[in-house]
């Protein structure tokens, strides 16, 4: 729990000065980090989170399902849970949330690993993400077959025949109307990206941008945009589509581990 919101999380509870906070992507859950978990856990304490509105966490406060609001929520959670100033790993929807966290509460974060989030202004998105952002209202999304759509979307990252439990965890997280509610977040992009655009040059947190260069949902231009505007950043394209943290997990995990182990310092040197 944090601020009255039930949050699903996993915590190694390791006794370490190094703390990593991982923010699950959409439409997945904290299981998205299963392929890099052991590698990151070697670095210190790891806490993985389904942010409010996503995965299997509460959706009862729709005002939180927005980039800037979740940035504030994360600052409160870090303080309430005694996480100090963690290294934040936030692909996809974790990208704008992590950036607003770093902009509004820079003392709460040591470094960022982000990417694959449609943060550009004017917005650039493709496929189902573009359709979701531009849908006239949530009713259109509520009427869609979320189970079928999410199942198809995550098949590449968690095949149902080889990882049925993970696949079902993803699908059930957004079934029964939960997908439409979670979509509130990305539908805030047009106005929140404009605010973020003006904040990016002032974010001095060391930032590593890691994403799939063949992402049809979130074009590469979004990642290059961050690299151009963030003063202390590095960018690493991976041979992957949207779910790079799973599709290219070996390289993704290596970059995260090296970054947290000390490479983040060179970004602000």
Compute the distance between CA of residue 99 and CA of residue 203 in angstroms, rounded to an integer: 8
pLDDT at 73: 98
This prediction has a pTM of 0.97
Question: Of the given ranges (12-16, 25-29, 141-145, 245-249), which has the lowest mean pLDDT?
Answer: 141-145
Compute the distance between CA of residue 217 and CA of residue 176 in angstroms, rounded to an integer: 24
pLDDT at 1: 83
Closest Cα partner for 186 from 65, 5, 25?
65
Per residue in 67-105, pLDDT (tens digit) is 999 999 999 999 999 999 999 999 999 999 999 999 999
* Average pLDDT of the residues in 201-206: 98
Helix (H, G, I), strand (E, B) or coil at 10: strand
Percent of the chain with pLDDT over 70: 100
**Strands, sheet with 111-115, edge to edge from the N-terminal-most edge strand:** 9-11, 45-49, 19-23, 87-91, 111-115, 207-212, 233-238
Nearest 5 degrees, angle CA 48-CA 30-CA 41? 45
Please list the residues that pair with 238 across neighbouring strands.
212
Q: Are 241 and 247 in contact, with CB atoms under 8 Å apart?
A: yes
Which of the four pLDDT bands, split at 50, 70 and 90, describes residue 269?
low
Compute the distance between CA of residue 157 and CA of residue 217 in angstroms, rounded to an integer: 14
Exposed/middle/buried for residue 170 (C-beta within 10 Å: 0-12, 13-18, 19+): buried
Exposed/middle/buried for residue 160 (C-beta within 10 Å: 0-12, 13-18, 19+): middle
Percent of the chain with pLDDT over 90: 96
């Amino acid at each position: 729990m944090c601020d009255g919101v039930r949050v699903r999380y996993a915590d190694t509870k390791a006794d370490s000065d190094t703390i990593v906070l991982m923010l699950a992507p959409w439409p997945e859950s904290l299981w998205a980090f299963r392929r890099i978990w052991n590698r990151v856990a070697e670095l210190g304490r790891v806490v993985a989170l389904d942010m409010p509105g996503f995965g299997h966490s509460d959706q009862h406060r729709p005002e939180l399902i927005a980039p800037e609001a979740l940035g504030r929520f994360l600052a409160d959670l870090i303080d309430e849970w005694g996480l100090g100033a963690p290294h934040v790993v936030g692909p996809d929807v974790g990208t704008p949330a992590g950036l607003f966290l770093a902009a509004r509460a820079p003392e709460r974060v040591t470094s960022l690993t982000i990417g694959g989030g449609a943060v550009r202004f004017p917005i650039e998105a493709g496929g189902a993400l573009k359709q979701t952002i531009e849908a006239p209202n949530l009713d259109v999304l509520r009427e869609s077959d979320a189970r079928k759509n999410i199942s198809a979307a995550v098949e590449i990252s968690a095949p149902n025949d080889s990882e049925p439990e993970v696949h079902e965890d993803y699908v059930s997280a957004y079934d029964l109307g939960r997908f439409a509610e979670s979509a509130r977040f990305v539908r805030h992009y047009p106005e929140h990206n404009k605010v973020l655009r003006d904040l990016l040059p002032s974010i001095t947190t060391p930032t590593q941008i890691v994403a799939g260069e063949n992402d049809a949902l979130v074009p590469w231009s979004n990642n290059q945009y961050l690299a151009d505007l963030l003063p202390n950043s590095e960018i690493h394209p991976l041979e992957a589509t949207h779910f790079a943290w799973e599709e290219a997990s070996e390289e993704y995990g290596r970059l995260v581990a090296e970054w947290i182990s000390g490479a983040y310092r060179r970004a602000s040197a």
